[in-house]
Amino acid sequence: MNIGGGWGSFMRLLLIITLLMTLLFPAVPVMAGEASTGLSYDVKVQVDGDQVAFPDQKPFINTGTGRTYVPLRFVTEKLGATVNWNQQEKVAIVEKSGKTVKAPVGSNEPTVNGQAVYLDAPVRLINARTVVPLRFMSETLGTEVKWNSSTKTVYIKVNQAAGETDASPGSVIEITADVLNVRSGPGTSTPEIGEVIKGDKLTVFESSQGWYKVELSDGSMGWVSGRFVKVDDAQDSPGVMQAVVDATNVNIRSGPGTDHNIIGKVDRGERLGILEQAGNWVKVELVQGGIGWIADQLINIEEAEATTPLQEEQIREELENNQDRGENYPPPSEEKEEEQTDWQNYDSTVADLEVGEDNGVTVATVNTTGALEHHIFTLTNPDRLVVDLKGVKPGDLAEEINVNSELVKRIRTGKFSENPDIVRLVFDVKEPVMFAATKSKKKDGEELTLKLYVPNLGTHLKGKTIAIDPGHGGSDPGAIGSSGLKEKDVNINVGLLTANLLRQNGAEVILTRSTDAYVDLYQRTEIAGRGGADVFVSIHMNAHPKRGYSGTSTYYRRDNISGLGVSQADNRLLAQQVHSQLMQSLNRRDVGIKQANFVVLRTAAMPAVLVEASFISNLEEEKLLAKDSYRAKIAEAIAKGLAYYFAQKES
What pLDDT shows up at residue 635? 94
What pLDDT shows up at residue 582? 94
Cα separation, 104 vs 84, in Å, equals 12
Complete domains list, the chain, with CATH: 36-157 (3.30.457.10), 172-231 (2.30.30.40), 241-311 (2.30.30.40), 320-333+343-454 (2.60.40.3500), 458-650 (3.40.630.40)
Residue 234: name the closest of 558, 550, 596, 576 by CA: 550
pLDDT, tens digit (0-9, with 9 covering 90-100), for 57-100:
788 877 556 678 888 766 666 677 777 878 788 888 888 766 78
Q: How far apart are the two ends of the chain, measured CA to CA in Å?
A: 108
Mean pLDDT of 109-113: 78
The pLDDT of residue 324 is above 60? no
Q: Which residues contact 337 (CB under 8 A, 6 or more apart)?
A: 258, 280, 295, 297
Residue 537: name the closest of 502, 563, 564 by CA: 502
What pLDDT shows up at residue 181? 86
Mean pLDDT of 524-547: 93
CA distances from 93 to 55, 68, 75, 139, 589 (A): 23, 20, 11, 16, 24
The count of other CB atoms within 10 Å of the CB of residue 441 is: 9
pLDDT, tens digit (0-9, with 9 covering 90-100), for 558-589:
766 655 778 888 999 999 999 989 998 898 98
What pLDDT shows up at residue 198? 80
The pLDDT of residue 326 is above 60? no
What pLDDT shows up at residue 310? 28
Cα separation, 71 vs 210, in Å, equals 33
Q: Locate all alpha helices (DSSP H) within 25-128, ordered by sequence.
A: 72-79
- SS3 assignment, position 188: coil
pLDDT tier, 325 (very low <50, low <70, confident <90, very high otherwise): very low
pLDDT tier, 234 (very low <50, low <70, confident <90, very high otherwise): very low
Q: Which residues are catalytic?
A: 612
Residue 563 backbone class (left: φ over 0; alpha: ψ -120 to 50; beta: rest): left
Percent of all residues in the chain with a pLDDT value above 90, rounded to a whole number: 24
Identify which of 178-182, 200-204, 302-306, 480-484 has the greatest average pLDDT. 480-484
Cα separation, 381 vs 584, in Å, equals 9
- Name the strand (E) or helix (H) holding 68: strand 67-71
Cα separation, 209 vs 226, in Å, equals 9
The pLDDT of residue 387 is above 50? yes
Q: pLDDT: is 459 or 346 the higher one? A: 459
pLDDT tier, 330 (very low <50, low <70, confident <90, very high otherwise): very low
What pLDDT shows up at residue 301? 67
Q: Within 13 Å and on the Cβ side, how many CA atoms surround 324?
A: 22
Q: Which of 53-62, 447-456, 478-487 is the least confident region?
A: 53-62
* Chain-centroid distance, C-alpha 91: 32
Helix 487-504, helix 628-650: angle, nearest 10:
50
Q: Which residues contact 446 (CB under 8 A, 6 or more apart)?
A: 348, 367, 368, 370, 371, 372, 439, 440
> Is the CB of residue 482 less than 8 Å from the CB of residue 621?
no
> Is the CB of residue 454 less than 8 Å from the CB of residue 433?
yes
pLDDT tier, 283 (very low <50, low <70, confident <90, very high otherwise): confident
For residues 589-622, one letter each, b for 16 or more C-beta atoms within 10 angstroms of the residue's C-beta and e for the rest, the string is bbbbbbbeebebbebbbbbbbbbbbbbbbbbbbb
Q: What is the 3-state secondary structure (H, E, C) of 509-551?
A: EEECCCCCCCCCHHHHHHHHHHCCCCEEEEEEEECCCCCCCCC
What pLDDT shows up at residue 102? 84
Q: Within 13 Å and on the Cβ side, how many CA atoms surround 89?
A: 10
Burial environment of residue 626 by CB neighbours within 10 A (0 to 12, 13 to 18, 19 or more): middle
DSSP conformation class of 480? B
Percent of all residues in the chain with a pLDDT value above 70, rounded to a whole number: 74
Cα separation, 218 vs 452, in Å, equals 20
Q: pLDDT: is 603 or 49 the higher one? A: 603
> Is the CB of residue 537 less than 8 Å from the CB of residue 609?
yes
Residue 341: name the closest of 285, 268, 421 by CA: 421
The pLDDT of residue 628 is above 80? yes
- Name the strand (E) or helix (H) holding 496: helix 487-504
Q: What does pLDDT average to over the chain? A: 76
> Is the CB of residue 43 less than 8 Å from the CB of residue 152?
yes
- Name the strand (E) or helix (H) holding 275: strand 271-278
> Is the CB of residue 196 less than 8 Å from the CB of residue 202?
yes
Cα separation, 510 vs 528, in Å, equals 7
Residue 224: name the closest of 214, 239, 232 by CA: 214
Q: What angle do CA 161, 162, 166 make, to 5 degrees?
A: 70
Phi/psi of residue 620, each to 5°?
Answer: -70, -45
* Chain-centroid distance, C-alpha 268: 24
Q: pLDDT: is 80 or 193 the higher one? A: 193
Mean pLDDT of 150-155: 71
> Is the CB of residue 155 less than 8 Å from the CB of residue 145?
yes
> Is the CB of residue 181 less than 8 Å from the CB of residue 192?
yes
- Give the predicted TM-score (pTM) of the model: 0.44
* Chain-centroid distance, C-alpha 558: 18
Cα separation, 488 vs 88, in Å, equals 42
What pLDDT shows up at residue 221? 80
CA distances from 62 to 35, 117, 129, 569 (A): 9, 20, 16, 50
Q: pLDDT: is 469 or 415 the higher one? A: 469
The pLDDT of residue 233 is above 60? no
Burial environment of residue 332 by CB neighbours within 10 A (0 to 12, 13 to 18, 19 or more): middle
* Chain-centroid distance, C-alpha 11: 68
The count of other CB atoms within 10 Å of the CB of residue 339 is: 9
> Is the CB of residue 573 less than 8 Å from the CB of residue 645?
yes
pLDDT tier, 316 (very low <50, low <70, confident <90, very high otherwise): very low
What pLDDT shows up at residue 153? 78
Cα separation, 243 vs 98, in Å, equals 37
> Is the CB of residue 625 less than 8 Å from the CB of residue 614?
yes
Cα separation, 596 vs 601, in Å, equals 8
